[in-house]
Amino acid sequence: MTDGPRPAPEPAVVLTAPRDGTPEPITTPAGLTRAAKSLAAGSGPVAVDAERASGYRYTHRAYLVQLRREGAGTILIDPLPFPDLTEVSEAIADAEWVLHAASQDLPCLADVGMLPGRLFDTELAGRLANLERVGLAALTEQLLGFALEKHHSAADWSTRPLPASWLSYAALDVELLIDLRDKLEAELIAQRKLAWAREEFAALVASAGRPVPPRTDPWRRTSGIHKVRGARALSRVRALWYARDRVAARRDTAPGRVLPDAAIIAAAEANPADERGLLALSGFGGRSVRRLAPVWLDALSVARDLTDQDLPMPPAADGPPPPHRWAERDPVAAARLARCREAVTSTAHEHRLPPENLIAPDAVRRLAWTPPDPLDEPTVRTVLAGAGARGWQIDLLASQITTALIDPPPSVTVSPPASAPPGSAHIPTSAPSSPPAEPSAPAAPA
């Protein structure tokens, strides 16, 4: 009997509203206390999520916090009326928090006094389980058979009052998180990766609330800056970037809404000296941008008056050069990097892991560019730990990386004897004892 065609998978059930209805956001101290007591009396893990106004506001604060726990149901909290939410955090301090893409929400939760003691990250669990799509909607559809609508994921959550449809969307974000957590935990157990996941989750908990160091020269990340030539023009990018940042911070508005990056680049290249020339440039046509024309012209004037000593200097090198330059600058290091990449790729394939979740590519590049001395496994393990690698990653990779870092001896040839007939081939000092191995698949870039 031949196998017939496989039946089509059942279509996912689209969730448009929470099963228990959408609660109103809590905005009063009495309501917050009731919510904290309800959560404390609940059982099991707590699903946690937060909504920000990325792309709309200068800050990255939370504008809505969603929680769900067995016995407490779904709770929505508007954090704006409260100095912090430590009362809620203390109520669930002993519980496991379940978040999706925890690294995105932990900073804004820490800002309102919410810090987990332990957590489970469903996105990271999906990556470690080697699932192809790890977005919340994709995971709930694949593992639970429910489809979540994501219409409001990029909404301005600082809006008040929040529309009812947005609140339903927010409540649905925690509706299935605990069920999803249980499915992913079972998958990690089946793949013998749960201990690895716990190490990753513990690292997230340890970093929660840790202040992020300010970025050096953030203006250098202006989109399109690669088109700007010369230190004088770069000084105009810098002056405009900081002028825009001051306005954005004062207004609590996303910088790109004050002045687009493309407008900064256009002004830096054209260097207009008056308002007419400035407003003729692309990106300066909007009314709010035109109103700030004196600010932009002042910034350009400041840059124009800088001495040569005050112009931007090339950024100090932090680590190895870009990999595409290695072959020219140091062919031996380039070969080391290729071997290290192959070691990472083959180990990741063996354990069904994305290479980027096995080890940070930057750690591999730094090791390959400047191998440690002495070059042995204990030293490599120490270097990897210093780069932030977890124990399970080090255990899987240290031996292979150590071997990959060892440079083969240079090929030496022996000149033929004087009596050898013309055209005799040079004989290598050592010949391979077996046929060359089949070429391996190209490594994924580190």
Name all domains of the chain by residue range, CATH numbers in brackets. Answer: 13-207 (3.30.420.10), 218-310 (1.10.150.80), 323-408 (1.10.150.80)
**If you write DSSP's letter for every residue of 232-266 in order, what string do you get?**
HHHHHHHHHHHHHHHHHHHHT--HHHHS-HHHHHH
What confidence category does residue 411 fall into, taking pLDDT thresholds of 50, 70 and 90?
A: low
Q: Can you tell me the distance from the alpha carbon of 360 to that of 337, in angstroms, rounded to the nearest whole number?
A: 14
pLDDT tens digit sequence for 113-128: 999 999 999 999 999 9
Residues of the chain above pLDDT 70, percent: 90
Total number of residues shown for the chain? 446
- Structure tokens, 192: 């013998």
- Alpha-carbon distance values, 220 to 242, 255, 256 (Å): 11, 15, 15
- Helix 177-190 to helix 194-207 angle (10° resolution) is 130
Query: What 3-state class would DSSP assign to 15?
Result: strand
pLDDT tens digit sequence for 175-228: 999 999 999 999 999 999 999 999 999 999 999 988 888 889 999 999 999 999
Query: What 3-state class would DSSP assign to 14?
Result: strand
Least Cα distance to 88 among 100, 76, 99 occurs for 76
Q: What is the mean pLDDT of residues 335-343?
A: 97
What confidence category does residue 435 fall into, taking pLDDT thresholds of 50, 70 and 90?
A: very low
Counting DSSP H helices and E strands in the chain, the numbers are 20, 9
262 has pLDDT over 60: yes
**Mean pLDDT, all residues of the chain:** 91
Give 26's DSSP letter.
B
In degrees and rounded to multiples of 5, residue 273 shows phi and psi of -100, -10
Are 50 and 62 a contacting pair, CB within 8 Å?
yes
Are 104 and 98 a contacting pair, CB within 8 Å?
no
Beta strand 119-121 pairing with 413-414: unpaired
Q: Where are the beta strands (DSSP E) in 26-177?
A: 43-51, 64-70, 73-77, 97-99, 119-121, 146-148
Least Cα distance to 295 among 267, 323, 317 occurs for 267
Q: Can you tell me the distance from the alpha carbon of 219 to that of 238, in angstroms, rounded to the nearest whole number?
A: 6
Q: Which of 12-26, 61-75, 332-346 has the lowest mean pLDDT?
A: 12-26
363 has pLDDT over 90: yes
Least Cα distance to 259 among 235, 276, 284 occurs for 284
CB count within 10 Å of CB 66 equals: 25
Are 431 and 413 a contacting pair, CB within 8 Å?
no
In degrees and rounded to multiples of 5, residue 427 shows phi and psi of -105, 125
Q: What is the mean pLDDT of residues 339-362?
A: 96
444 has pLDDT over 50: no
426 has pLDDT over 70: no
Query: What 3-state class would DSSP assign to 426?
Result: coil
Higher confidence at residue 24 or residue 415?
Answer: 24
Place of tokens 């990097």: 337
- Structure tokens, 147: 């489809």
Are 97 and 48 a contacting pair, CB within 8 Å?
yes
Q: Which of 120-134, 188-202, 270-284, 316-330 has the lowest mean pLDDT?
A: 316-330
Q: What is the dihedral of CA 364, 366, 371, 373, to 10 degrees?
A: -120
Q: What is the mean pLDDT of residues 266-276?
A: 97
